[in-house]
Structure 1
Amino acid sequence: MINQLEKLLKQKDINPTAMRLLVLDYFLKQETAISLSDLETDFDYSDRTTLFRTLKTFEKKGLLHSIKDGNITVYALCTDNCSEEFHADSHIHFCCSSCKKVFCLSKVKAPDVEIPSNFKLEKLDIIAHGLCADCIK
């Protein structure tokens, strides 16, 4: 398993330190996007600064993408075709108004948006709000 994690980090040109391997393994086990606070709660043995730097490195290199919903930022794994130069995560994010979990709806593509020619679109974030399947039950 460690070799697969190392390989994935090296493919993204990320030095596979022990902490980075642990954080990547953690993200691979998640079904929803997670915040720095969530990560910090589950990583008792690490400090907030190290975890934040790890998230930012992963985001910069195209391994994670961030989703901002108000004042909260959460992170989720990118698709395989994201890179340092381009994030190809043009899907809808769903925020449950009850449990506050954020889901990447990878199969629901963001609509095409026509931007005036004097603007340059770098990223399009669309967050849908409602109840997730668990909270509907």
Structure 2
Amino acid sequence: MAHTHQHNNFEALLERHHLKKTGPRLKVLSMLSAKKVATSQPDLESVMDDIDRVTLYRILSAFEEKGIIHKVFDLNGTANYAMCSSNCEENHHHDEHLHFNCTVCKNVYCLDDLNLPPLTLPNGFKPEGFTLYATGLCPKCSKSAEKK
């Protein structure tokens, strides 16, 4: 029952962004929303053998453009994708939150719940967005390090 409800939410999300409700798009949304970490295209490819690389690239690009997902880079410079907050719009993301890169497991976490101070820039600068990164150990890797 929960799966059907989630599927309907994804269909409504695609409809709201004027995107066709295709199986591959719904599958990508399902995979990304189920993850607790940002996910790279190669990682998605490895679990979605029924969606070719070009189709997946186009889906991710369309979702990013529409404000459904956002791109964040890991420590190796690889693009990873995570679901956007509900207030993102087409061509204008509002994902100004901390991105935490774990130096051990290499996962990228979106820490949406942290309250960040407002960004104040010198006169003449007009921000269109910003990305804030932190590196260190995630809770799982930190716990493993303590046991050693």
* TM bracket, shorter-chain basis: over 0.9
Aligned residue number for residue 119 of structure 1:
125
CA apart distance, 1:44: 1.1
2:81 matched to which residue of 1?
75
1:42 match: 47
- Per-residue Cα deviation, 1:64-106 (whole angstroms, up to 9, x for no partner): 0111235211110001111104211111011100000011101
**Counterpart in the other structure of 1:13:** 18
Q: Residue 99 of structure 2 aligns with which residue?
A: 93
For the pair shown, the structure with the greater C-alpha radius of gyration is 2
Distance 1:32 1:106 in 2: 12
- Which residue is equivalent to 1:129? 135
Q: Which runs of 5 or more structure 1 residues have no equivalent in the other structure? A: none
The RMSD of aligned alpha carbons is: 1.4
TM-score, normalization by structure 1? 0.92
Question: Aligned residue for 1:32?
Answer: 37
Q: Select the structure that is richer in helix.
A: 2
What is the CA–CA distance in structure 1 between the aligned matches of 2:64 and 2:58, rounded to whole Å?
10
Mapped partners of 1:114, 1:24: distance in 2: 34
2:88 & 2:95 partners in 1: Cα distance?
7
Cα distance in structure 2, aligned partners of 1:99 and 1:68: 15
Instruction: Give, in whole Å, the separation in 1 of the partners of 2:112 and 2:98.
Output: 7
Partner of 2:56: helix, strand, or coil?
Answer: helix
Change (3 A) 1:3 1:67: same
Give % identity: 40
Rounded to whole Å, the distance in 2 between the matches of 1:132 and 1:58 is 27
- Write the distance in 1 (CA, Å) between the matches of 2:81 and 2:116: 18
The runs of 5 or more residues in structure 2 that have no matched partner are 144-148
The aligned residue for residue 54 of structure 1 is: 59
